[in-house]
Amino acid sequence: MDIVQTFGNIVSSQAEEHPERAEKILYAGWRAQLLNLTVNADKRLPPARQYAARVCMEKITQAMKHPEKAAATSLFTPYEPLQAAGIIPFSVEQMSSFIGGSHAERKFLELAGNAGFSETMCSYHRIFLGAAACNMMPKPKFTVYTTLVCDGNLITFPYIQRHFDIPGFCIDVPFEQNEDAVHNVEQQLHQMVEFIQDCTGTRITHEALREAMARSWRSSLDYRRFLKASPGKRLPADMTNEMYAFMMNHVLSGSPETEKYCHMLAGEMEQAPESNGLRLVWLHTMPFSQAPLIERINFNDKAFITACDLAVDPVRIDIDPDKPYESMARRLVYSCMNGPTENRIRLALDMARETEADGVVLFNHWGCKATLGASHLIKQQVEEAGYPCLLLDGDGVDEANRSDGQTSTRFDAFLELLEERRA
């Protein structure tokens, strides 16, 4: 048994009866990993991706150490106002991903079930809820979340608020993509800022928001530069680091860390060596710890990911730093994840064309009803546009909800198809 699995077993064994002890063990392990990422970074990764790994680990440990300065957030929640108030994001998706990466997810999924949460619910949310239910998760100061995409948000965050007796704010994003919807969300964002100010006692100035949005805009331009430079090139990565990309672009939007990361990433891609490997556009989240995909994608010059919609989506919306509320609202309303499925298809095809992809992989994460329901329509229209599309069923963080044999067989057949098309 490897050291990570042993660590996960120790955390799991303590979680229910001794949650404070489990939290301390988890925090100590993650701090040790942060030190390892700092002094013994994976040299296979370019500097930008080494940096993203450190930042993401640092932020989650900061949230655990200083929960009084943290807010539980959903993936699409604008970070800029929280940053202006000195609040650390305590992301559902990030926290659960790290627990899954520590091989401790099964215990928290069990505890979520014991608390009455359905197995049909997204596993990212169930892990987070399980950690909260047993009080292993530290108490955040408040919650801020959106209704965008994930129906789990409407279960998870109200529960967190009740369980910890903390306030919360929900941004209700209209399904329609029009200027009335932008105005509606803009007004809600003004209310959210007032809510954050009331919770923290910190005034969020227009100038602070403008500066954060200016960083978001510069980050977006650099990430676009990264994508534009990618055809015919390869910048080494693993699936975990591909996950970090959408954590940086969403959870830490407008931060100095994301601005630095995107700038480094663009420069490194422009200088990256040429590659003739199979180029894949990835849609939705990633099972970063699943062995068959690790073997076939991580640091592989023969087949690799060129772009992921969850990382690209927030950077494709133009930003006016002088209009921070409108810009944040526009980013939410015009997200590819909002509105009809055609929006996701349009972005998938845009990414495929820009990065000169050979094919598209859509990961059907268990519990994500929005993706599962749309998957066959996405596949059909992507293939009609000339790109082979693989629907890959599985779970982003729950190892028990995967089929390694089926994944191996289907992924190998897909790569073989792409090779044949090239020939």
DSSP per position, 250-296: IITTT-HHHHHHHHHHHHHHHTPPB--SEEEEEES---TT-HHHHHH
User: How far apart are the C-alpha atoms of 360 and 352, rounded to whole Å?
Assistant: 8
Phi, psi of 66 (to 5 degrees): -125, 65
What is the tens place of the pLDDT at every residue in 334-353? Answer: 999 999 999 999 999 999 99
- Write the CB contacts of 230 (distance below 8 Å, at least 6 apart in sequence): 269, 306, 307, 354, 355
Q: What is the dihedral of CA 150, 154, 160, 166, to 10 degrees?
A: 120
Average pLDDT over residues 363-376: 91
388 to each of 65, 311, 344, 355, 421, how far by Cα in Å? 46, 21, 16, 15, 9
Closest CA to 270 of 339, 224, 330: 224
270 to each of 171, 224, 229, 312, how far by Cα in Å? 38, 12, 5, 18
Radius of gyration of the chain (CA): 20
Residue 330 has pLDDT above 90, yes or no: yes
Contact 336, 344 (CB under 8 A): yes
Contact 304, 280 (CB under 8 A): yes
Number of other residues whose CB lies within 10 A of the CB of residue 132: 24
User: How far apart are the C-alpha atoms of 126 and 93, rounded to whole Å?
Assistant: 10
Report the mean per-residue pLDDT for the chain: 96
Which pLDDT value is given to residue 423? 82
Closest CA to 261 of 284, 245, 273: 245
What is the tens place of the pLDDT at every residue in 32-89? Answer: 999 999 999 999 999 999 999 999 999 999 999 999 999 999 999 999 999 999 999 9
Contact 387, 359 (CB under 8 A): yes
Average pLDDT over residues 395-406: 91
Which pLDDT value is given to residue 399? 87
What is the tens place of the pLDDT at every residue in 103-156? Answer: 999 999 999 999 999 999 999 999 999 999 999 999 999 999 999 989 899 999
Report CA torsion sign: 404, 409, 412, 415: negative
The domain tally of the chain equals 1
In the chain, the percentage of residues whose pLDDT exceeds 90 is: 95
User: How far apart are the C-alpha atoms of 318 and 331, rounded to whole Å?
Assistant: 8
User: How far apart are the C-alpha atoms of 89 and 94, rounded to whole Å?
Assistant: 10
Assign 401 a pLDDT band (cuts: 50, 70, 90).
Answer: confident
Residue 1 has pLDDT above 70, yes or no: no
202 to each of 37, 82, 86, how far by Cα in Å? 33, 10, 8
User: How far apart are the C-alpha atoms of 244 and 307, rounded to whole Å?
Assistant: 13
Residue 210 has pLDDT above 80, yes or no: yes
DSSP per position, 208-259: HHHHHHHHHHHHHHHHHHHHHH-TTB-----HHHHHHHHIIIIITTT-HHHH
Partner residues linked to 274 by β-bridges: 233
**Residue range(s) defining the domain that contains residue 140:** 3-422
User: How far apart are the C-alpha atoms of 130 and 111, rounded to whole Å?
Assistant: 5
Average pLDDT over residues 360-385: 94
- What is the identity of the amino acid at 295? E
Average pLDDT over residues 166-182: 98
Residue 244 has pLDDT above 70, yes or no: yes
CA 13 to chain centre: 28
Q: How many CA atoms lie within 13 A of 73 on its CB side?
A: 28
Assign 369 a pLDDT band (cuts: 50, 70, 90).
Answer: confident
Which pLDDT value is given to residue 2? 84
Which pLDDT value is given to residue 127? 97
Q: What is the pTM of this model?
A: 0.96
